[in-house]
Amino acid sequence: MVRPRVLLTSSDVPSLGVDLLQTKCDVTIIQNEKSSREDVLQTLPGYDAVLITGHHNVNTEFLNIAGPNLKVISTISAGYDHLDVPEIKRRGIKVGHTPQVLSAAVAEIAVMLTLCAARRSHEGRLKLEEGNVKTTFNWLLGQDLRNSTVGIVGLGSIGQAVLVRLVPFGVGTFLYTGHSEKKAGKDLGAKFVSLDELLAQSDFVIVATPLTNETLGLFNDTTFGKMKKNSVFVNVGRGKVVDTDALVKALKNHTIFAAGLDVTDPEPLPKDHELLKLPNAVIIPHLGSATTKTRNDMSIIAAQNILNGLDGKPLVYEL
């Protein structure tokens, strides 16, 4: 029997996923940790399946070059805004991603950013480096999670995991917003409200929503202006959900208290970007799912999506 041919768009895939694919397929790996689009398109024609790393844009051009053999696409990510899903499915190609398995790791990062931004950790470090530490009683005071109101924008698997991890901190009220009320929200004791209500009432606003046409630029001058002056803004969703210039203004003008960001626009931020100069912004370079176990699990699921699709079975996580 001829084994299916699978292309990996970069070498930056844990070996567990690669090994799984190699049990049933002939695997070609573009030997680059961060391959260019030109590298991918040049190698692409004729494969039965493609495992996407690095958020390569899978659009009409990509699919035309791939040709009629392509049966399955699997992206090693929870987000899929880089995939033209309607066009992929219109061509009868199965397409999958790797959600759920990274929810715990991303939620841990959200909690870390929430605490660090609320307690002014970055600002404190800057003061240490400047030799400007004071011992006065009211110096560098932060915000409490205890008895606070936490609003979660996007109560999917990541949003739910964040909520569960914040419960032990003694949060007073959990709010969430989205398209509709969710059973999970009710089960977790969270109240469904409009976005405007959430912004007006929340001491902490945590964004865990995917990037869609609806959420693009959702946080802008208007939305930041509706938040409390003591509010802490945390984004573990997608960078483009936030208008970066509006966030810089909100932080500089103290429209909001602080921000904790795992994702930004642009990403990565240039080293001289204004956001990086702000003492009330805690920023890390998209490390949400960056644990050894999580990335191994993601690679296995991405590979299993492909094997299932080539076998005519439902994908583990199909879009």
Residues carrying an active site annotation: 286
Partners of 20 in the β-ladder: none
> In angstroms, how far is the first alpha carbon of the chain from the final one?
29
How big is the CA angle at 157 (ends 153 and 161), to the nearest 5 degrees? 85
In eight-state DSSP terms, residue 127 is H
Residue 314's identity, in one-letter code, is: P
Alpha-carbon radius of gyration of the chain: 22
Element (H, E) at 122: helix 121-130
- Other CB atoms closer than 10 Å to residue 180's CB: what's the count? 6
Residues 6+ apart with CB under 8 A from 209: 153, 154, 156, 159, 178, 215, 218, 237, 238, 241
Cα–Cα distance list, 288 to 55, 107, 144, 213, 300 (Å): 15, 8, 23, 23, 18
- Give alpha helix (H) positions in the chain: 15-22, 37-43, 60-66, 85-90, 103-118, 121-130, 157-166, 183-187, 195-201, 221-225, 244-252, 292-310
Contact present, 157 and 103 (Cβ < 8 Å): yes
At 90 the three-state DSSP class reads helix
